[in-house]
Amino acid sequence: MLRRLLQALDPDQLTAVIAAWLSTRSPATGTRRAIAVDGKSIRGSRAAHSTARHVLAACDQATGAILASTDVNGKTNEITCFQPLLDQIDDLTGVVVTADALHCQREHVAYLAQRGANWILTVKGNQPHLHAQLAALPWRAVPNADRASDRGHGRREIRSLKILSISTGIDFPHAAQALQIRRRRRRLDQPKRFTTETIYAITDLRAHQAKPAHLAGWARGHWSIENKVHWVRDVTYDEDRSQIRTGTGPQVMAALRNAAISALRLTGITNIAAANRHHARDSHRPLALLGIT
């Protein structure tokens, strides 16, 4: 009965209900909210005559909580689902939306402007003209606006950010600043071997609206969704080996995994696997997490 129920639920409505509940538990940070939009395939849902289900989600960068998600069926792609996804969030005024290169679309920025949101969009080869314009800017003459480094997972990473105002010369609506993000990585056991990656992005935020440290944090925060959500779903919850395929089952189970991760993240938990073990030992602990006494 539970299986049939889960396979018949509307995943978008389920996510909306969960997001409304999470919003009552989200702490007020006093800083501008940043939302990362990113997609993930549920590989285990692939069948002999159909591709794997794909889900597009909007994640709060600060908490790792999933605010909205929508199914990307085989007849469309992430681009057409961008606006329906963010329509699930009531108020985007003042929010900074980050997205990868696939969503660097004129229709998207027009929609975000209408909703009162700002944006940071990565630019890659899918926009060759725009990418060439950004790469041709005089970056050598621009000093680093922000620089940070950290160590972890057996490697060191150095990140630098350069910023240029682009009131003219860039063929993209509402673009106010261009970003060049350079990441240099090396393994700690190979101190002389660096790999360098240069990424370009654009934003409608002007210099007086966001400090370089904020822009660097939001850009990096977008990539953190991979660690905060996707990696946890794949490794901790073993999502890719789940073979639930019938009805809306894959999307519903993804929504429930997102709900579990979000509920734990909002309490300040960083190790989801350890938290799962902790709550599994006592049936009262999950109820307390949900605010049920």
How far apart CA 5 and CA 248 sit, in angstroms, is 10
Residue 36 near residue 98 (C-beta atoms within 8 A)? yes
Structure tokens at 288: 């307390």
In this structure, of 169-183, 188-202, 238-252, 255-269, the range with the lowest mean pLDDT score is: 238-252
In one-letter notation, the amino acid at residue 75 is K
The pLDDT, as a whole number, for residue 243 is 72
How far is Cα 250 from Cα 27, in angstroms, rounded to an integer? 30
Question: What is the C-alpha to C-alpha distance for residues 94 and 105, in angstroms, rounded to an integer?
Answer: 20
What percentage of the chain has pLDDT greater than the value 90?
35
pLDDT in tens, 80-109: 999 999 998 888 999 999 999 999 999 999
pLDDT at 181 over 80: yes
pLDDT digits (tens, 9 = 90+) for 198-212: 999 999 999 999 999
**Residue located via tokens 């990441």:** 183
* CA dihedral over 124, 129, 134, 135, signed as positive or negative: positive
pLDDT at 204: 95
Residue 216: which residues within 8 A CB-CB, separation 6 or more? 145, 146, 148, 159, 161, 181
The residues, ordered by sequence, that sit 6+ positions from 170 with a Cβ below 8 Å of its Cβ are: 130, 133, 134, 178, 202
Check pLDDT > 80 for residue 290. no
pLDDT at residue 132 in the model: 93
- pLDDT attached to residue 30: 60
DSSP state for residue 290 in the 8-state scheme: T
Instruction: Tell the burial category of 256 from Cβ atoms under 10 Å away from its Cβ (0-12, 13-18, 19+).
Output: middle
d(CA 197, CA 213): 19
- Would you state the pLDDT for residue 249? 76
Q: Is 77 exposed, middle or buried (0-12, 13-18, 19+ CB in 10 A)?
A: middle
- Decide: pTM greater than 0.95: no
- Measured in whole angstroms, the distance separating CA 65 from the mean position of its chain's CA atoms is 10
pLDDT of residue 51: 67
**Alpha carbon distance 80, 240 (integer Å):** 25
Q: pLDDT at position 74, please?
A: 64
Considering only residues 69 and 43, tell me which one the structure prediction assigns the higher pLDDT. 69
Give CA angle at 238 (232, 241), nearest 5°: 140
Q: What is the DSSP letter of 291?
A: T
Mean pLDDT on 226-252: 78
- Number of Cβ within 10 Å of residue 138's Cβ equals 7
Is the separation of the CB atoms in 34 and 11 below 8 Å? no
Write out pLDDT tens, residues 119-167. 999 999 889 999 999 999 999 999 999 998 887 667 788 889 999 998 7
The phi, psi pair for 87, rounded to 5°, reads -65, -20
Contact present, 158 and 183 (Cβ < 8 Å)? yes
Contact indicator for 97, 56 with CB cutoff of 8 Å: no
Band (25; pLDDT cuts 50, 70, 90): confident
Considering 40-54, 67-81, 162-176, the range whose residues carry the highest mean pLDDT is 162-176
